[in-house]
Amino acid sequence: MTTHSQAITLAWTGASGAPYGLRLLECLLASNHTVYLLISSAARVVLATEHGLQLSSQPQAAQQQLVKQFNCDPSKLIVCGKEEWFSPVASGSAAPKKMVVCPCSAGSVAAIAHGMSDNLIERAADVVLKERGQLLLVVRETPFSTLHLENMHKLSQMGVTIMPAAPGFYHQPKSIDDLVDFMVARILDHLGIEQGLVPRWGYDQR
Ligand SMILES: Cc1cc2nc3c(=O)[nH]c(=O)nc-3n(C[C@H](O)[C@H](O)[C@H](O)COP(=O)(O)O)c2cc1C
């Protein structure tokens, strides 16, 4: 896998929680990471439904939309198509060591747990698994079926971090943004990226 420690793969899939994915992307770009962004077809439907964002299905056009929205350096955001098999994320020789699927659908959990590699999101996750990198799944579904739980258990045993999109309330959130930031802060913590989005338990509350 690439030694370029400032690169990360972020996948948006079709679970509810588009604001988590958008905010995470914003924070990764702000922390000067190069982001390989993979977007499933269902994720685009969810983005439109939950956020009113009509993202193009063409990777380059989607990249331009997001670069404009986040006012970021275009070279730092690479949007990849779902069958872009020559993307760096598709090979252990070039893929970033870290990947987050946020939000992560139960369907993508199943596909990743079974090594399907049928689209670039599944392939990128499979690469991170085989290369023993860091894979973090921000899963959103409720309730979980036994099948969902079995798939997550399987992945957890392989070292995958299963991080349900389940924000806490002990920081007394005043807005949806506060709840989103709670989750994004935990994700950034796990990735080892400095953040000051929410007060830390036992420190900042005193
Ligand atoms: C608005 C909307 C919300 C959805 N919410 C969820 C969800 O929270 N969790 C989930 O597992 N699937 C959810 N789905 C269904 C998935 O999008 C669907 O299973 C899809 O095939 C997942 O494909 P993907 O993993 O390739 O994105 C939702 C679909 C839509 C349109």
Interval 84-124: pLDDT, tens: 999 999 999 999 999 999 999 999 999 999 999 999 999 99
Q: What is the pTM of this model?
A: 0.97
**Whose CA is closest to atom 19 on ligand 1?**
107
Which amino acid is present at 132?
A: R
Provide the CB-side half-sphere exposure for 201 (13 A, CA): 7
Q: For helices 146-157 and 106-113, give the axis angle rounded to 10 degrees.
A: 50
Which residues sit in the known binding site for FMN?
14-16, 40, 105-108, 140
Residue 200 is predicted with a pLDDT of 85
Residues with CB under 6 A from ligand 1: 13-16, 40, 42-43, 45-46, 49, 105-108, 140-141
Burial code (b: 16+ CB inside 10 Å, e: under 16) for 89-125 equals: bbbeeebbbbbbbbbbbbebbbbbbeeebebbbbbbb
Separation CA 144–CA 108 (nearest Å): 14
Which residues sit in the known binding site for dimethylallyl phosphate?
170, 186
Q: How far is the CA of 45 from the centre of ligand 1 (A)?
A: 9
